Structure 1
């Protein structure tokens, strides 16, 4: 039986000792990362921004999540573009899948949610009461292979890998060839990874470009007021701003960073598994 939004939100808040009030708030990616950490115990939560407000911060969180999926051979496609829009339905569906995955593969035992994220909180309301070291019950959890999953306290490795899980969006009903379906799944995963990387690079590029642009404008505004002693320093700073490396050329053509994504998309289109209007 499908769980309601209140039940899923309560599960997240109780397990992670957070205080989310809406499903769509999970679209920052932070909670998804820590849910996976309750399973594997080795995610770099210090890189996760639980109070993320900007797109580039969301992207950083999804990089951590995608690395977890890739490293543990989880074939589920993360719909990053849709989740980042903080819409209810997309995050609700992804959280439903994540809850089922957690029920199947979480080993149980004690999990110190607050300690693992080094005290980071989500600024959406008063903190939820409860012990910091929250016990993860496995009485209703399906254990792998029909046996109870081992306790976290007895796990010796950095995190036991869960078996590969194929996402429901990874194949089409009209595909009968398992090899083709697997190839499509891999291409889709690569597209998602590349999109996350490209989006992150573009956000960082825009951030630093705007900083340099502000410096340039400030120098232009101050130049008439500078003394003869200060003017050479301003000229030197401007020279640094306008200097390009040898071989660097401004390109008017399509951004080459997107060529890998386009190549993969064209392969999938040729196989008839994506439409021209479909996005990842």
Structure 2
């Protein structure tokens, strides 16, 4: 468990002795450069020429942590690197990660000596004309960064310096991309919600039309059922009176019976009317329902003929 629970001063002492640095705060590890060289002291394969020890902008910190993450992936280290927290250079986040890294270093470092300064001076082969400059580059540790700036000359410094505006854009590029993706997702959700509301309104209108049509059909059903019921009562009453011998076989009585049936068939009530004209084909049409302005509630529809053709005085 070496490294876990060690104090800030113990970790800084170990770090400065191993890497020949002069860090005075744990927060300075938030640049990621020291973490990269600790891993290099174990495996000796980290591209130290790409590690920026004089990094001052967040995008440069992210470059160092990309190198560190690549080394973790290469050696199959399952430790999660919380880059977003570490680059903020907060004490607690970097203290915990440095404690873990110290423990890992104790468990995996061999007994060979590690020349930290020599590794930091290493640079990739430069193109023709730039070899002398690459070989004479000083160490990037501690305050040597200012020496590098003075010796490289004004032209080189002007070509490699990052303007403050560019650095600010680099730091804000990730939040802007996240915000843009969130806004696009919000717009898509709003469009889907609007389409759903339109579909619901359309379905509600269709349901209202179906309810109105159902009410009309139920009223029509009750209307014609009432006619059939009146004819049924008239027929049954006439049949009973005939059995009792009240009526004779006079043809006029049959005509009167048929007249009563026709009166029932062509009787109307409010909201209904009968088409009296005959079509050209000579066939009599059924009564047509017209001018139904409002549909009553189906639960309240009760057929009551306008004139009951069956009275107490006579059957027909």
Give the TM-score category using the shorter length: 0.3 to 0.5
Indicate the structure whose relative CO is greater, using CA pairs within 8 Å and at least 6 residues apart.
1
Q: TM-score, normalised by structure 2?
A: 0.40
If you compute each CA radius of gyration, which structure gives the higher value, 1 or 2? 2
Structure showing the higher helix proportion among its residues: 2
